[in-house]
Amino acid sequence: MKNLIDIKDLSTQEIQELIEVAKDIMQHPQNYVEKCKHKKLATLFFEPSTRTRLSFEAAMMELGGNVIGFSSASSSSTAKGESVSDTIRTIGCYSDIIAMRHPKEGAPLVASIKSTVPIINAGDGGHNHPTQTLTDLLTISCEKQRLNNLTIGLCGDLKFGRTVHSLITAMSRYENIKFILISPEELKIPEYVKKEILEKHQIQYIETTSLEEHMKDLDILYMTRVQKERFFNEEDYVRLKDYYILNNSKLTTAKQDLCIMHPLPRVNEISTEVDDDPRAKYFNQVRYGKYIRMALILKMLEIK
């Protein structure tokens, strides 16, 4: 694997291998502390994202490697008008692997075409964020001990939420998956996701505006934030941002082994009272994110 731009770049076998390596890292971290010695990861964040950038950097450091990079476009040559292609060709001379976030959709694909070192897409606008999806898959695998036979509730912004689209794409490859798609009318899942993924793979799904209606059936509840940066119109954002708020009373009918996930950061969509519920797994999810990124870096650098 040369690059990871889209979760579809990975076969289910490759995903399984990454999950197994990540689990092994969790169990035997001491075996990995020098795996990337003398290797450099460049984190090119043309758009700020503390969480993803630090996750990549922590992952590389725990593998014994080094990190270079920038955390906003204003501190890169982009501010001087340099193209993505030129930036990538330059950074490739200093690093062994690049993790890149860019507000423009498709920028990591352009980078991968020009780059001499592997490119990991760390998020491109509202388009793809494959390492979040890998994080979600590792979380599900660890918390539910399976990736099949699951009823998954996806709640919030299903229109612009890239994590949701990627998760649906990834999970549609596994057997007996059912989705409950919970969103306000304005933020419903796009038609092309229904047509080209769900219906194409004959995946069962229900669309609803009610968070409580199917709560009792869920194995996983994946909450999402309504993201201000995806809206051109401030009014729409203000009207929709607090549409769903998960609290303890809404969880009364939920299964005892429900797994509550969120890609974070949250704003109001999960009340802090839920944090103490053992079913809340969103901070575990952050930790899993670091381990799956460690596994990914090893795979892309072809280090055993």
Q: Which of 40, 101, 127, 159 binds another protein (CB under 8 A)?
A: 127
Residue 46 or 288 having the CB closest to another protein: 46
Q: Kindly state the smallest distance separating residue 43's Cβ from another protein, in Å.
A: 19
As beta bridge partners, residue 182 has 155, 208
Interaction of residue 201 with another protein, rule CB under 8 A: no
Interaction of residue 101 with another protein, rule CB under 8 A: no
d(CA 251, CA 198): 27
Q: Which of residues 27-46 bind another protein (CB under 8 A)?
A: none
Contact 15, 170 (CB under 8 A): yes
d(CA 194, CA 203): 9
Interaction of residue 172 with another protein, rule CB under 8 A: no
d(CA 294, CA 31): 12
Residue 68's identity, in one-letter code, is I
Residues marked as catalytic? 51-52, 80, 101, 129
d(CA 31, CA 26): 10
Q: Which of residues 64-93 bind another protein (CB under 8 A)?
A: 83-85
Residue 118 or 125 having the CB closest to another protein: 125
Q: Which of 2, 37, 51, 104 binds another protein (CB under 8 A)?
A: 104
Interaction of residue 196 with another protein, rule CB under 8 A: yes
Which of 65-73, 98-106, 169-177, 209-217 is the region at the interface with another protein (rule: CB under 8 A)? Answer: 98-106
Single out the residue of 59, 60, 63, 61 nearest to residue 33, CA to CA. 63
Alpha carbon 202 to its chain centroid, in Å, reads 24
| Count of residues making up the chain | 304
Residue 160 or 244 having the CB closest to another protein: 160
Residues that bind another protein (CB under 8 A): 83-85, 102-107, 109-110, 124-127, 192, 196
